[in-house]
Structure 1
Amino acid sequence: MIVRIMGEGQVRLADGHLAELNPLDDELLREMENGDGPGFRRTLHALLTKVRELGEPVPDDSLEPSDLILPAPDATLEEVRNLLSDDGLIPG
C-alpha cells in the first residue's frame, strides 16, 4: 500500500501494518471528537512517526497512486476533520 503524508511524500507500507496504526487512528478520532487540541497534535505526530518507521520511502522521482492520504504534521483539527471518514483516517 502507498501512503502519502501531505507535504512530505509517499511511503510503501505493508497492509499488515494497518492493525498497528488503527489504535492511534482511533485515539486521534476520539481526541478530535472531544476537541482535545494538545492530544490531537500529540497523536497525529505519533501516527505519522509510526507510518515513517514502518514504511519505506518511495523515491521522489516515482509517481505512484496513493492508497491512503494522511494529513501534514502541522495540519489543524479542522483540516483533519475534513479528511476523516467514519472509520477515521485509516480504513478498518
Structure 2
Amino acid sequence: MIVRILGEGQYDVDASALDGLNELDAEVERAVEAGDEPAFEAALAALHDGVRAAGRPHPADSLDESDLILPPAGASIDEVRRLLGGEGLIPG
C-alpha cells in the first residue's frame, strides 16, 4: 500500500502495519474531536512517524497513485477535521 504524507512524499507500507497505524489515527481523531491542539499536533506527528517507521520511501519518480493520503505536518486541526471521514484518515 502506498501512503502519501502531503508535502513530504510517498511510502510503501505493508498491510500488516495498518492496525498500529489505525491506533495512531484514532489518537488524531480523539484530539480533533476534543479540540485539543497540543494533543492533535503530537498525535499527527506520531502518525507520520509511524508511517515512516513502518514504510520505506516510494520512488520519487514514480507516478503511482497513493492508497492513503495524510495531511502535512503543520496542518491545522480544522483542516484535518474536514478530512476525517467516518473511519478517520486511515480506513479500517
The answer to whether the superposition gives a TM-score over 0.5 is yes
Runs (4+) of structure 1 exceeding 2 A deviation are none
Q: Report the CA distance between 1:24 and its aligned residue.
A: 1.1
Taking only aligned residues, the RMSD between alpha carbons, in angstroms, comes to 0.7
Aligned position for 1:65: 65
Q: Report the CA distance between 1:81 and its aligned residue.
A: 1.1
Percent sequence identity is 53
Counterpart CA distance in 1 for 2:22 and 2:41 is 17
- Provide Cα deviations, 1:18-70, integer angstroms capped at 9, x if missing partner: 00111111111011001000000001000101100110101111111010000
Q: Which runs of 5+ in 1 are unaligned?
A: none
Q: TM-score, normalised to structure 2's length?
A: 0.96
Aligned position for 2:43: 43
2:75 corresponds to which letter in structure 1?
A
Q: Which runs of 5+ in 2 are unaligned?
A: none
2:4 corresponds to which letter in structure 1?
R
